[in-house]
Amino acid sequence: MLQRPPGPKPRFLIGNIPLASRDPLAVFRRWAQDYGDIFYYRAGWIHVYFLNHPDLIESVLVRNYQSSMKDRVVQNSRWFLGNGLLTSEGEHWKRQRRLSQPSFHREKIASYATVMTNYADQMLSHWQDGSVIDIHQEMMKLTLRIVLRALFNVESEETEEISEALNVMLRHSTGLRLLLPPFVRQLPLPGMFEVRRAVDGLNTHVYKIIHLRREHGSEAEDLLSTLMEARDEDGSQMNDLQLRDEVMTFLLAGHETTALALSWAWYLLGQNSRAQQELHEEVDRVLAGRAPNLSDLPSLTCAESVIKESMRLYPPAWAVARQAIRDFELGGYQIPVGANLVMSQWVMHRDARFFSDPEQFDPSRWRTEACLKLPKFAYFPFGGGPRQCVGASFAMMEAILLLATIAGRFQVHAVAGDPVEPVPSFTLRPKHGIRVALKERPGRTGSPLAQGDTTVATSALRQ
Ligand code: HEM
């Protein structure tokens, strides 16, 4: 009999299934407080080891990364994402990572800055003083347009349709559904017809992007052309299905998370007028009414701290998980092959051992000595080790530029009495969206479009 870490009492047969509870995030935090750095529970037949210490997380994601693979939730998402960079393993993953990486190098993402601020400007031209909007939906549409353009050179008139289909998918990726094996999607269960139709619609759009590029080519040396032109040692190239899997992966991974980082940032700023005031002061001082460009990034320290602090309290990726592929030792316990290892940003980022007054939204903490000295995995919004987010620098640059562009024109206020509820689905989504009231800042009726400045010198762009 293996000695196991402490953990909650199991119920007969079922064990514990926190994702089926009303508030899984609260359950995980309570268990972390009750049982410490590592706790164990059984979810049905799955053995789960939940890690709540930076050293243990580092051990799994970095030092012992060869002892595990992506967990069942990610494996189950293959029915939709296919075998793209997020879901693949082994040699195939290594090759795809090697191919994709150059599209995210500093010099390359520098060229996306203008796309980002131009699209933000277009969005703002539709915003009206005094109106109430769902800022989460706005950010989703904006970041989708940006990723389509930056990575695939597509100026899609179908962004709305793609966005709606992705919304359907994401709405149905919550709670127990995350654990459903792929064959269940073929059963006539409630909602499944809608989901299958959304996936079919997305496939049509994605194949259209691929076929248009095959037919007409493109001047742009973007991610799509890199993937299309790459050859294996035997001279073979990626077929349409492989390309579809990568395009789908980057569409989803590349827009929803950044949209969430921004949405939660506006949610927090909307309730914290002092922090928003500081942001406005910085934007006014640095930009003086013009759109931000890349060379402004090192001066937008307040904007960067707002994004970091928002991702601390509301991490878009609220947990990463692995499945052990061999027995190994961790924190004094033997982890058996097949066990699930869960590491939660939501829990770790609110740990009082590493963050003073952890529930408090305080962007200025990121400019203190204490934060510089944090252990690496006390704060890990982008994961870590070989499977760390390939788009981390892209996302940071995008989030800061968009935040500053919007703050230059508008004040954002919370709508009193409106419920905002984070739901731990594939990502941390607001259940009912985030409605905010807009107030146009005096004398800011539009800014000149950003120029293509490509000077890079900011911590946000250090890989
Ligand atoms: C604030 C925004 C973002 C957050 C919080 C985020 C978070 C993450 C995390 C935590 C992982 C690691 C998952 C794991 O270890 O299991 C990941 C992987 C990944 N992310 Fe992001 N991400 C963001 C933006 C982006 C962007 C903008 C792109 C692309 C344009 C992107 C593409 C990917 C891909 C392809 C992977 C898989 C990498 C691999 O396994 O090699 N992400 N992301």
Q: What is the pTM of this model?
A: 0.93
Q: Is residue 5 part of a domain?
A: no
Residue 406 covered by a domain: yes
Contacts (Cβ under 8 Å, ≥6 apart) of 81 = 87, 245, 248, 249, 252
Residue 11 lies in a domain: no
Q: How far is the CA of 257 from the centre of ligand 1 (A)?
A: 8
Which structural domain, as residue segments, surrounds residue 218? 18-461
Distance between CA atoms of residues 53 and 100, nearest Å: 31
The tens place of each residue's pLDDT in the chain, 463 residues long, gives: 568 999 999 988 899 989 888 999 999 999 999 999 999 999 999 999 999 999 999 999 999 999 999 999 898 888 888 999 999 999 999 999 998 888 898 888 888 999 999 999 999 999 999 999 999 999 999 999 999 999 988 886 778 888 888 888 877 776 556 566 666 666 777 777 888 888 899 999 999 999 989 998 877 788 898 889 888 778 888 899 999 999 999 999 999 999 999 999 999 999 999 999 999 999 999 999 999 999 999 999 999 999 999 999 999 999 999 999 999 999 999 999 999 999 999 999 999 999 999 999 999 999 999 999 999 999 999 999 999 999 999 999 999 999 999 999 999 999 988 889 999 988 999 999 999 999 999 876 554 444 433 333 334 333 3
Q: Nearest 5 degrees, angle CA 314-CA 64-CA 375?
A: 45
Inside any domain, residue 180: yes
**CATH number for the domain including 184?**
1.10.630.10
3-state secondary structure 289-328: CCCCCHHHHHHCHHHHHHHHHHHHHCCCCCCEEEEECCCE
103 lines ligand 1 (CB under 6 A): no
CB 410 less than 6 A from any atom of ligand 1: no
Ligand 1 atom closest to the Cα of residue 394 is: 27
What's the token pair of residue 307? 């994004």
Residue 2 lies in a domain: no
Specify the number of domains making up the chain.
1
Centroid of ligand 1 to alpha carbon of 253 (angstroms): 6
Ligand 1 centre and the CA of 273: distance in Å?
A: 31
Tokens of 367: 């400019």
Amino acid at residue number 3: Q
Any domain includes 7: no
pLDDT digits (tens, 9 = 90+) for 96-137: 999 888 889 888 888 899 999 999 999 999 999 999 999 999
Q: 449 lies in a domain?
A: yes
Residue 1 lies in a domain: no
The pair phi, psi for residue 339, each rounded to 5°, is -70, 155
Supply the residue whose CA is at minimum distance from atom 7 of ligand 1. Answer: 382
